[in-house]
Amino acid sequence: MSNQVSSRQALYRSVEVMLLVVALLAGAATVFFLTDSARDVRFMTISGLVLTACLIVLIRLWMNPDRVRAGQTDAVLNLASRMLACMDGGLKEESAQRICDMLLPETSAIAVAITDKQVILGYSGRGQETNPQDAPIRTAATHAVLDSGEMQVLFSSDAIGFPDERRAINGAIVVPLTMGAETVGTLKFYYPSARKINETQRSIAAGFGELLSTQLAATALEEQKRMVTSMELKALQSQINPHFLFNTINTIASFIRTDPAKARVLLREFAVFYRRTLEDASDLIPLAREVDQTERYLRFEMARFGEDRLQLTCSIPSQVSEMLVPAFMVQPLVENAVKHAMPATGCLHISICAEPQADDLVIRIIDDGVGMSEERRANIMETSSQTGLGIAVRNIRDRIQGYFGAESFMRVESEEGSGTTITLFLKGGCFKNPLDLEEK
């Protein structure tokens, strides 16, 4: 829709420019023939007719309803786009004030306000100095809309319900802002006279109220998704960590009798490991730190099973080692390899490789363990999978897509008896800092 309107506007502008150029040339020719003593009446008449025709067409273009509608639509779409950009983090005081400042010049209102259920979030226009942010809602009409969830159009200061006399404001449109079935705030347009309130103003108010409500719902949905992902991460940690905790404590206890020096080293490493796990649970961390934490985990498992049963190799190029990635991204995949891929005899080899590809980053976790059947591989990739690895796959995939975009992905390839390869593709991962992207 926006592209169609912009194309139409561009066409109108091109035609206008061409007609203006022709009109100027025709006008100059007409003036020349009028001032020339040896004027040629025929050419003067032709230039006059061309000038008149160009002016008539220009006037018709400027008055054309389709052109007016196209211009209005383009302006509304641009305004809507700017409003949505303000609400990336939800409707807060800063974003509400910016939206009020944007809306005021686009309507006949002399003031625009946004509230939540208790206080003013933003106010622009007449009376702004007496309606600061965080001030409690004072108008009866606003409370009525919050209670009913229905838009109200008011045609007098008394109907609006100001606590004191307000002669400057004598009309208002109050639109509910909703999330689902709940009214969470209001968008208000104040007018100097009831005559200023027409169908256009009603439509504008209702449309922008619906737009803000839709964006509030979308923001809430994103927040719920983030919370679900965080809860799944905590669930994954609670599934894995107690089992690992008891095994590691038992391993350290056995070394206290047979190799006290090694027991002391493992105990210090164990303290660092758990401190890092708690610190990194919800943050972005350098890739090198995530791999370092994974290596620390493998040292405990090597101590438990023996170095002849587990080996780890890492290949992390220096240019990507400081890149920020979601914490707890590599370790649970390696942990599941130890848990499920280790053969009955022999050594399980695990490798972690990071490879920059143009602007993107590919991380692979490869093992040569027992592998898995196609049915099991397909099952853990299903969003409904409730197994430990299934939760890990979904959680890691959701978090990398949340930080690096929908083109990022996680792929699991496996063959029974030949091992498993898990590929993490981070779109733009080599040169994008997700924290910077969030701030923007």
Are 244 and 209 in a shared domain? no
- The pair of structure tokens assigned to 378 is 């397909």
CA distance from start to end of the chain: 27
Asked if residue 161 lies in contact with residue 89, where contact means CB atoms within 8 angstroms, the answer is: no
294, 274: one domain: no
Confirm whether 363 is domain-assigned.
yes
* Domain count along the chain: 4
Same domain, yes or no, for 93 and 215?
yes
Asked whether the beta carbons of 359 and 431 are under 8 A apart, the reply is yes
437 lies in a domain?
no
Higher pLDDT, 166 or 122: 122
Q: Give, to the nearest 10 degrees, the angle between helix 331-340 and helix 199-258.
A: 50
Question: Do 173 and 151 touch, CB atoms closer than 8 A?
Answer: yes
Tokens at 388, concatenated = 């430990």
Co-location of 289 and 419 in the same domain: yes
- Asked if residues 159 and 193 have their Cβ atoms less than 8 Å apart, the reply is no
Q: What is the mean pLDDT of the chain?
A: 78
Q: pLDDT for 85-140, tens place per residue?
A: 666 666 788 888 888 888 888 788 899 999 998 899 999 998 888 889 889 998 88
Q: Read off the pLDDT of residues 250-276 as tens digits, 9 standing for 90 and up.
A: 888 888 888 888 888 888 888 888 777
The last residue of a domain, from among 46, 63, 80: 63
Sign of CA dihedral 31, 34, 35, 39: positive
Residue 395 lies in a domain: yes
- Check whether residue 202 and residue 297 sit in a common domain: no
Q: Are 375 and 287 contained in the same domain? A: yes
Is residue 233 in some structural domain? no
> CA nearest 372: which of 421, 334, 425, 405?
421
CA 106 → CA 42, 200, 415, distances in Å?
A: 50, 12, 62
Is residue 314 a part of any domain in this protein?
A: yes
Nearest Cα to Cα of residue 298 among 355, 244, 233, 243:
244
Any domain includes 81: no
As beta bridge partners, residue 325 has 285
Contacts of 241 (CB under 8 A, 6+ apart): 277
CATH number of 152's domain:
3.30.450.40
Pick the more confident residue, 233 or 24: 24
In this prediction, residue 439 carries a pLDDT of 43
pLDDT at 440: 37
Q: Is the pLDDT of residue 2 over 60?
A: no
CATH number, domain at 347?
A: 3.30.565.10
Helices and strands in the chain: count of H runs, count of E runs: 14, 12
Q: Give how far Cα 21 sits from Cα of 25, 35, 93, 194, 393, Å.
A: 6, 21, 49, 45, 64
Position 229 pLDDT exceeds 70 = no
CA angle 428, 429, 432 (to 5 degrees): 75
Compute the distance between CA of residue 417 and CA of residue 414 in angstroms, rounded to an integer.
9
398 and 354 in a common domain: yes
pLDDT of residue 36: 64
- Is 235 among the domain residues? no
**307 in the same domain as 394:** yes
Residue 70 resides in a domain: no
Q: What is the span of the domain harbouring residue 270?
A: 240-279
Residue 421: its pLDDT value, please?
94
Dist. CA 394–CA 231, nearest whole Å: 12
**Co-location of 365 and 288 in the same domain:** yes
DSSP, residue by residue, 414-440: EETTTEEEEEEEETTTTT--HHHHHH-
User: For the CA atoms of the chain, what is the radius of gyration?
Assistant: 34
Looking at 226, 249, 267, the residue that finishes a domain is: 226
Q: Which of 161, 191, 226 is the last residue of a domain?
A: 226
For residue 423, pLDDT over 60 is answered with: yes
DSSP output for 282-321: TSEEEHHHHHHHHHHHHHHHHHHH-TTTEEEEEE--HHHH
Mean pLDDT of 228-242: 54
Most confident of 32-46, 151-165, 413-427: 413-427
| CA 272 centroid distance within chain | 35
Residues forming a β-bridge with 188: 113, 174
199 and 178 in a common domain: yes
Residues 333, 244 within the same domain: no
pLDDT tens digits for 46-83?
A: 776 776 777 777 666 655 555 444 444 455 556 666 67
Indicate whether 48 and 9 sit together in one domain.
yes
More confident residue, 175 or 214: 175
- What's the confidence (pLDDT) of residue 433? 54
pLDDT tens digits, 9-18: 565 566 667 7
Q: What is the token pair recorded at 98?
A: 């910016």
